[in-house]
Amino acid sequence: MASENSFFKERMFAVVIGLLMIGSTAGYAFLNASSGSGNKQVQNSVPDIVNRKLTLDEQRSVFLSGRVLIENRFSDECGYCLERNPVLEGFARRMSGFVVLENIRVDYLNETGLDMIGSGGRIVEINNETLTEEGLLDIFCDIAMKIPKECVLREV
């Protein structure tokens, strides 16, 4: 009798463990499938170059997709600001899928600025010395969550 009772407990324990394994596998597959399709949708919802202020939802979308936001605030009265736009746009095109360039026209010179914001919340101000392809890549590789091959190859 004790042997039958022990056998029954072992069988029940094996069934419970089996059900837990099947349930966790199904749950993992469901979560992975739903988050995978969501990431593709989030990443594609904001283009690489935007010539306006992003909404909060769009900014959140950029950061959730792991991309870096370059916030370029410029005035038509600022010649230097207008000269840097082609450098920034070239960098954004080269790093397509990893960077979003937000070009924001402001009214006053004291509102101009240039920041790179990582999805971890780190903000780096870009100045004259770092406004080169190499300088931008250095900052980007330092704060990016999604690391492209350009960052990996620099370390080799």
113-135 pLDDT per residue, tens: 999 999 788 999 998 778 888 99
pLDDT: is 28 or 114 the higher one? 114
Query: CATH code at 106?
Result: 3.40.30.10
Does position 44 have pLDDT exceeding 60, yes or no? no
| Residue 69 sits in the same domain as residue 9 | no
Residue by residue, DSSP assigns the chain as -HHHHHHHHHHHHHHHHHHHHHHHHHHHHHHHHHHHHHHHHHHHTS-SEESSPPPHHHHHHHHHTTPEEEEEEE-TT-HHHHHHHHHHHHHHHHTBTTEEEEEEE-SSGGG-EEEEE-TTS-EEE--TTT-SHHHHHHHHHHH-SSPPHHHHHHT-
- Mean pLDDT for the stretch of residues 46-74: 93
pLDDT: is 153 or 143 the higher one? 143
Share of the chain above pLDDT 70, in %: 83
- Mean pLDDT for the stretch of residues 84-104: 94
Query: pTM for the complete prediction?
Result: 0.69
| Residue 28 sits in the same domain as residue 68 | no
- Mean pLDDT for the stretch of residues 130-142: 90
| Residue 73 sits in the same domain as residue 9 | no
| Residue 31 sits in the same domain as residue 100 | no
| Residue 108 sits in the same domain as residue 127 | yes
- Mean pLDDT for the stretch of residues 71-85: 90
